[in-house]
Structure formats: structure tokens, C-alpha cells
Amino acid sequence: MADGAGDILKNARAEAWAMPLETMDVSLGERFRDNTMWPFFERLRAEDPVHYCAESEFGPYWSVTKYNDIMTVDIDHKVFSSQGAITIANPDQDFLLPMFIAMDPPKHDAQRKAVSPIVSPHNLAKLESVIRERAGEILDGLPVGETFDWVDRVSIELTTQMLAILFDFPWEDRRKLTWWSDIITTDKSDVMTEEEGRAELMQCGAYFTRLWNERVNSEPGNDLISMMAHADATRNMEPMEYLGNLVLLIVGGNDTTRNSITGGLLALNENPDQYEKLRADPSLIVSMVPEIIRWQTPLAHMRRTATEDVQLRDKTIKKGDKVVMWYVSGNRDEEAIENPDAFIIDRPRPRQHLSFGFGIHRCVGNRLAEMQLRIVWEEVLKRWKFVEVMGEPKRVLSSFVKGYEHMAVRIYA
């Protein structure tokens, strides 16, 4: 950790434990950007695991912060609905994008089924060699011995290439996918108005509509667009619903894996004994990958809406209330995970984490994400002794996407 970062965390700890509980709001993006949200969640887990925040930028909301309570909410999709909204921020009512992650059964189940073949074991096996080849090309193009941005050159490039493969998207235009993903997940108010942002997304819709029209009349292909164009549940979607599901697949497959690739390298640098252990035994990659995904928790939360009054621990949640499951906190719950703040690449039961959610919305791409991370680390270890992180990374200003904008690194062959 860089000088100063320790002091900032110490101050945050003092603030977290001194403030009146009823004023605690864990949704502040600034705390995620500064990586100081940890003690606030620690206090909630210890003193008020189901916590009501009456006032926030996003209005009133409940926070669920312990592992087992999060599971209880996540698997009860009848009482805790996903319909219409799955993040703490409510969607803009004048720009609604229906997507199956924000739907309840039966429509959710049917649309999810339409795209699920993309991650069948057969398809994953086919994708493995393509991803390995692309990853190798990206890594071979990196400047050894010079400082460069790992996020841009490796994490973004790799996940963007994978998305392009999944959509069978025109290769030369693939950075458009990164651009659209960023418009959706990050605050772009410094470079464009809200209207301009929406216009960009409509262009995304128009671009993908051209691809749809080409594929709907061809033999069913093995890409996400063909799958939606040929399945009963998705072939007659309204334009905004098509755009919504595209947004889901673009963001779902992009930011999350990207931030795990960056977070894994950071975790290894902050824990040099683990990097050493990995170099000595690369077969540990298999258990390291889920540990990275737990440690990073690329999506800090998912949100539900209560469909009836319901008791959770000592609290009564009212029908219509917003309920936020803080995966980032559950993954550090000492009652569920031993020594949860430590990054341990050979931890027993490393898949015991909340980062992919649970229940009917559990991440469709979980095995694909794990495969991608495994390949990246296999290829990195084959090539170089050490990739050094050159200072604190710049983190994203968001309490939803937990990730990195830049991270300077240097490779030692």
C-alpha cells in the first residue's frame, strides 16, 4: 500500500466506529474510490447486520451485510424481486431498458435459457483455445521493463476481445463494446451530457440491429446475437428490450472480468508470499482464480425490492422497500469465511463466496470468467518472473462496479 493510504484507512476506521449508526450510508461511491468502505461494513456486520438508511443519494434503502442473510435474500426471488431494478440506483423512467437480470419468472427464465448455450461445457471447450491464443498475442505485445497501464493494455483488451468473440462482433470495431460498456457503468458527465450518452446507446442498438438482421435469416449460429434471434423467448423483443439485454451481456461480460484481471495482480503484489507460492507451484492457479473473484468482488452489490412485508433478523422490511445485498461485505464475513481479509491462493473451499450471486439470477458467465482468468495467469506465469504494481491503482467511483481505471505496472522477464 502506498504511503498515505494507511492513514486514510485509519481515519475512515475512526469515523466508521464513531458515527451514529442511523446516519451510516454505505452507498457512497467516494469510499469505494478511496478503498475506505471496509470499516463501515465491518461495523454494520458487528452491530446492525440488517441496517436501514433513511437518506442517501439513492433514497432510503436496507443494507444486508452478512453472508448467510445475503443468501437468504438472494434465493428468495418471490419475496425479494428483481423486477425493474437490480442496483441501488433506480433506472431512468424515461429511458427504460428491460433486461432479463431485472425480470422475475417466467420471462426471466425463458430469456436466460435462450443465451445459456453460450456457456455449455462444449462451447467453453471450443472457446478455450481461441482465448488462449488471443491472450498470448496481447501479452507478447507488452513492453518488458517499461511502465504501462495494465488496465488498458491487458484487462480491457482481453475482455473486449472475448466479448467480440461471444457476439461474433466485427473485430476492427471491438473497442466500441468497451466504450458502450463504460458509458453504462461509469459517470461520463465530464465528457458528455445525459442526452449524448443516450444517443450513444441508441447507436449501439442500431449497430447490433444490423447484425441481428443479418443473422436472423441465416442458419442459427453459435453467437449470442444468433441465439437471441432464433429463440422463441427472445426473437420478438421490442427494440429497447433488445438493447437492454445487449447492455446486460456487454456489461456482465466486460467490467467484471476486467476488474478481476486487474484485482488479481494487485492482490498478488500486496501479498508477495502468495506470489512466491504461485511461482513455485503454478497448479495453484485453479484455486487462486475463485479466491481472486472473492477478494475483488467485482460487483459490490445487487438490489432487490420486497414484494411483501418480511422479517429479516430483528427488522421488518416493508413491501416496496429497497433491499441491497452487499456481496463485498458478505465476502469478508468472518462467521462464514475463515480469515476473510487475507488473500490465500490455496484456501480450502475457495468457491465459497458471493461474487456470482445465488439463486435464479446466479451469474450465467461464471465458468467462462473463471476460465478466462485461469488462462491469463497460465500465460503470464509461462512468460515472466514478476509483474510489479508501481503504486496505488486509480479506482472507479461507484458502489456498484468495484474496479480500477488505471494501474501502472512493470514486467520483469
User: Minimum CB separation from ligand HEM for residue 21, in Å?
Assistant: 27
Answer yes or no: are the C-beta atoms of 250 and 181 closer than 8 Å: yes
Query: HSE (CB half, 13 Å, CA atoms) of 208?
Result: 29
Using the rule CB under 6 A, is 252 a contact of ligand HEM?
yes
**Stretches 5-13, 41-49, 64-72, 246-254: which one binds ligand HEM (CB under 6 A)?**
246-254
Q: Give me the sheet containing 61-64, strands edge to edge.
A: 50-53, 61-64, 322-326, 301-306, 80-81
**What is the residue whose three cell numbers read 464475513?**
333
Please, which residues bridge with residue 87 across strands? Answer: none
Min dist CB 336 to ligand HEM, Å, is 16
Q: Which is nearer to ligand HEM, 275 or 400 (CB)?
A: 400
State the nearest-atom distance from the C-beta of 118 to ligand HEM, in Å.
6
Please state, in angstroms and rounded to a whole number, the distance separating the CA atoms of residues 352 and 168: 33
Candidate segments 10-18, 136-144, 251-259, 311-319, binder of ligand HEM by CB under 6 A: 251-259
Secondary structure tally for the chain: helices H, strands E: 16, 12
Give the position of cell 504511503. Answer: 3
Is residue 267 part of the contact set for ligand HEM (CB under 6 A)?
A: no
| Window contacting ligand HEM (CB under 6 A); options: 181-189, 268-276, 297-305, 329-337 | 297-305
- Answer for which of 155, 178, 234, 260 binds ligand HEM (CB under 6 A) is 260
Instruction: Name the minimum Å distance from CB 280 to ligand HEM.
Output: 26
**Interface with ligand HEM (CB under 6 A), residue from 302, 323, 328, 411:** 302
Q: Radius of gyration of the chain from Cα atoms? A: 21
> How far, in Å, are 43, 87, 336 from residue 25 at the CA level?
12, 15, 24
C-alpha separations of 184 from 180, 181, 187 in Å: 6, 5, 8
Where are the alpha helices (H) located in 316-387, listed in sequence order?
327-330, 366-383
Cβ nearer to ligand HEM, comparing 151 with 248: 248
Check residue 294 for interaction with ligand HEM (CB under 6 A).
Answer: no
Separation between Cα atoms, residue 216 and residue 95, nearest integer Å:
26
3-state secondary structure of 301: strand
The CA distance from 77 to 28, in Å, is 27
Residue choice 357, 380, 399, 401 for contact with ligand HEM (CB under 6 A) = 357
Minimum gap (Å) between residue 292 Cβ and ligand HEM? 8
60 to 79, contacts with ligand HEM by CB under 6 A? Answer: 74
Provide the terminal-to-terminal Cα distance of the chain, rounded to the nearest Å.
24
Measure the CA–CA gap between 156 and 209, rounded to whole angstroms.
Answer: 24
**Stretch of 31-39, 295-303, 335-343, 388-396 lying at the interface with ligand HEM (CB under 6 A):** 295-303
Rule CB under 6 A: is residue 112 a binding residue for ligand HEM?
yes
Decide whether 12 or 115 has the Cβ nearer to ligand HEM: 115
Give min distance, CB of 356 to ligand HEM, in A. 5
Q: Of these, 248, 261, 266, 328, which contacts ligand HEM (CB under 6 A)?
A: 248
- Using rule CB under 6 A, residue 319 touches ligand HEM: no
Total chain residues near ligand HEM (CB under 6 A): 27
Instruction: Note whether 305 binds ligand HEM by CB under 6 A.
Output: no
Contact 116, 366 (CB under 8 A): no
What does the binding site for ligand HEM look like in residue numbers (CB under 6 A)?
Answer: 74, 100-101, 112, 248-249, 252-253, 256-257, 260, 293, 298-299, 302, 355-359, 361-365, 368-369
